[in-house]
Amino acid sequence: MSHVSGGDMPGKPPLYCEREDWSDIVPIPQYDGVNPLAPIFYNPEYKDATDYFRGIVKTGELSPRVLELTEKIIRMNPAHYSAWQYRYRTLLAVKAPLDVELRLMDSLAIHFMKTYQVWHHRRLLLTLLTASPSTATTSKPLPDAFDIATSELEFIARVLEEDSKNYHTWSYREWILAHVDDARLWLGELPYVDDLLEADVRNNSAWHHRFFVVFSRGGKRSGASPVEEAEVLQREISFTKDKISLAPNNPSAWNYLRGLLDHTHTSWGKLVVFVLPYTQLQPTTHSSDEVVDLDNPKPPAEAELPCAAALDFLAEAYVREGGEGVQKAVTLWKSLANEHDTIRKKYWEYRIKEALASKLV
């Protein structure tokens, strides 16, 4: 809790109870009655600010000094949702310049990125700033929604440099892309995700975002021709194969592969040639005269094999073939249950039972 300072440091600003310009407000202390699991707390600065906040709420005042007070409280306790809510109402009431507010929020977002109010407040501001110009008060002429969103995406990227898997930050990025929904913004997302996966191929948030951009929300808006769609599919399969070859035991990449095949109704059987080497006990040795198959990169020599996700994938591909495939799948599931993924033994046994039962029908 290092961001909360005591009230007795030299050079501290005066408390609200010491300030002439706040003398018209009656501070209301925190309720201190019966209170199980909820003790009374002592920090002069925080107590002072929140006492005056309760005083302000009581009188219903919406004025510039409320912005100062709520900022102070938020900096001490960013999860104080009433302070956020009251701040937003005040911003609108006093027609505060929202671009200035957004810049103020930049530093708060980085400090308090795990607090969802920080992101929700931003979302409210952006909703106003990207709406028709008349709804937002700003300090200078407002750029168009595309420019605003572009600078937001750059800002979000800076925050993600601090924590590349932050859930609220990612949700906010996905929201703003869908909200502004500009083709130029969507185009920039793929190179961005490429960079993130280059830095950390196991970043599940980045894999999720890739799917969001290429197939789900971003994919829906493109109006691509069937040829273009086939190219995208090919590109994504190749990309994922490459990433799997870098880190074969990476569940995020395997999940992406499974997801994109099902989403595009592509047969899993097409991937069997690629997946097989990942199901072997030893990496396939590369002989010098062997033609390297660029379409199907092999696991690296140091890989831990076999890879449970590959065995799982292969079994799934086989069982979907039906017929002889079912028995092949059962053999793979048995190896998972008894040797390669024993922690999920019961799951694999369930798959075996279900597959054999449906085969009999």
> Which one of 105-113, 139-147, 162-170, 267-275 is the stretch in contact with another protein (CB under 8 A)?
162-170
Cα–Cα nearest to 328, from 338, 317, 337, 339: 317
Residue 81 CB contacts under 8 Å (≥ 6 apart), including other chains: 117
Cα–Cα nearest to 86, from 121, 132, 34, 51: 121
Tell me, yes or no, if 114 is annotated catalytic: yes
C-beta separation of 334 from 315 below 8 A: no
Enumerate residues 97-136 that contact another protein by CB under 8 A: 116-117, 120, 124
Interface pick for another protein out of 42, 60, 226, 360 (rule CB under 8 A) = 42
Cα 26 to Cα 8, 16, 56, 217: the distances in Å are 23, 11, 8, 51
Among residues 143 and 259, whose Cβ is nearest to another protein? Answer: 259
252 binds another protein, rule: CB under 8 A? yes
Distance of CA 325 to the CA centre of its chain: 38
Q: What whole-number distance in Å separates Cα of residue 173 and Cα of residue 176?
A: 5
90 binds another protein, rule: CB under 8 A? no
39 binds another protein, rule: CB under 8 A? yes
Q: What whole-number distance in Å separates Cα of residue 239 and Cα of residue 192?
A: 14
Q: CB of 295: closest distance to another protein in angstroms? A: 23
228 binds another protein, rule: CB under 8 A? no
Alpha-carbon radius of gyration of the chain: 28
Q: What whole-number distance in Å separates Cα of residue 40 and Cα of residue 54?
A: 16
C-beta separation of 51 from 28 below 8 A: yes
Among residues 140 and 220, whose Cβ is nearest to another protein? Answer: 220
165 binds another protein, rule: CB under 8 A? yes
40 binds another protein, rule: CB under 8 A? yes
Interface pick for another protein out of 54, 75, 111, 328 (rule CB under 8 A) = 54
350 binds another protein, rule: CB under 8 A? yes
263 binds another protein, rule: CB under 8 A? yes
167 binds another protein, rule: CB under 8 A? yes
Q: CB of 264: closest distance to another protein in angstroms? A: 11
Q: Which of 114, 165, 328, 334 is catalytic?
A: 114
Exposure string (b/e) for 183-204, b if CB count within 10 Å is 16 or more? eebbeebbebbeebbeeebbbe
215 binds another protein, rule: CB under 8 A? yes
1 binds another protein, rule: CB under 8 A? yes
Enumerate residues 276-335 that contact another protein by CB under 8 A: none
Residue 88 CB contacts under 8 Å (≥ 6 apart), including other chains: 121, 124
Interface pick for another protein out of 250, 271, 314, 329 (rule CB under 8 A) = 250
Please tell me the total number of residues recorded for the chain in this structure. 361
Q: CB of 236: closest distance to another protein in angstroms? A: 12
Assess whether the previous peptide bond of 306 is cis (omega < 30° from 0).
yes
The set of catalytic residues is: 114
**Residues in touch with another protein (CB under 8 A):** 1, 4, 28, 30-31, 33-43, 46, 54, 76-77, 79-82, 84-85, 88, 116-117, 120, 124, 165, 167, 170-171, 174-175, 178, 202-205, 208-209, 211-212, 215-217, 250-252, 255-256, 258-260, 262-263, 343-347, 350
